[in-house]
Structure 1
């Protein structure tokens, strides 16, 4: 009986973990129109895409406080914003992790991290996780470049920031920068999708 209870406990734990790391079935594809959202920034203000009509597009980065990969890419996200925000493509960082499963990703912890790193971009909490699901994000970090076409924002790039998470000095392919440089030059993105490398998003149970 004790052995049976042990196996049941293990099975229950595995089911909880599976639900925590499940990925959205659907998500944006290249050329899709991105819907607007209203998410809370670390300063307490609600941020939407629609309210920023002066931009040419956005660098949407699903990221978090706790993932080692996200931490490795924080400085590179800052650099992306500093380089491309003046050209019309600001970074919008979004934390999709469920704080109940990952307490280090709670809103107060987001505020601390944004202050420590002096983020020059907004850092939003996707508390319901609906935005991450709509985009089809599965990892942190997971990037989406949106470009404005008329009144709509079209998905132009999905994937990784570059090809070396561990050492920025050894990066050979800067996927996101290449996408943005081509968009700014009025050219098609040469490699519109890559594989996002990072931690699985911590999805809410139930």
Structure 2
């Protein structure tokens, strides 16, 4: 009798949960927790990104080609930058993690410093219509506020984001001049929070770029990204 009752309850629980969401009895995958009092509010931490398949893209594989439109209506393709190092930054101006990173964190001036060295830096916004961060005007305003000089590319269909397995904003990728993915993951080790006193912060993207320039293999080619779920 007890087994029958449990089976009925499990069936009812599964039916009440929308497709793709865990049942109330199953543990949900937690979002990475930011550290420190200055971290974005907990309510802003996105639930795990929906609709993004498990990334099939592996470190050492060719980066998927894409053609997207920037805020000026110009088409931009990855192949336009053959022979150059490219950094991809998944972007959503409504995400508190993105806002903090651009206002006072690692993304505040890193793109400008990198492009001065000949590195190509592209922000990609995969927010779908009606979702947080979507729309040309929203992104034009954010680019001005954050002082972003590099292109913001609109991926409303989410095709490019899903091809890369992007699940968070910011989610970072480094592609070498041969078009090979050499780094994927978080921008740095802060997880969006304030570092502890005397804590050494590792900027994973900066390390990857430095090692690439020196002809060395990337010592940390992959990390867990943190931030808001991409709004596919």
Same fold per superposition (TM over 0.5): yes
| CA deviation after TM superposition for structure 1 residue 20, in Å | 7.1
1:129 to 155, 158, 168: 158
1:91 to 101, 121, 139: 121
| CA deviation after TM superposition for structure 1 residue 176, in Å | 0.8
| Number of equivalenced pairs | 190
Unaligned segments of structure 2, at least 5 residues: 1-11, 23-47
Do the aligned residues in 1 keep the contact of 2:87 with 2:173 (CA within 8 Å)? Answer: yes
Per-residue CA distance 1:56-101 (angstroms, 9 max, x = gap): 2111011111111111112433422122212232210001111323
Range that drifts further, 184-193 or 55-64: 55-64
Unaligned segments of structure 1, at least 5 residues: 1-6
CA 52–78 in structure 1, closer or farther in 2 if over 3 Å, else same: farther
Q: Normalising to structure 2: TM-score of the pair?
A: 0.73
Do the aligned residues in 2 keep the contact of 1:157 with 1:192 (CA within 8 Å)? Answer: yes
| CA deviation after TM superposition for structure 1 residue 119, in Å | 0.8
1:69 correspondence with 2:97: yes
Detail structure 1 runs of 4+ shifted over 6 Å in the superposition.
16-20
| CA deviation after TM superposition for structure 1 residue 16, in Å | 8.2
Say which one has the larger Rg.
2
Distance in 2 (CA, whole Å) between partners of 1:192 and 1:142 is: 13
Per-residue CA distance 1:81-132 (angstroms, 9 max, x = gap): 1222122322100011113232x42222111111222211101110111000
Alignment partner, residue 38 of structure 1 = 67
Whichever structure has more strand as a proportion of its residues is 1
Tell me the secondary structure at the aligned position of residue 105 of structure 1. coil
| CA deviation after TM superposition for structure 1 residue 27, in Å | 3.3
Q: Normalising to structure 1: TM-score of the pair?
A: 0.82
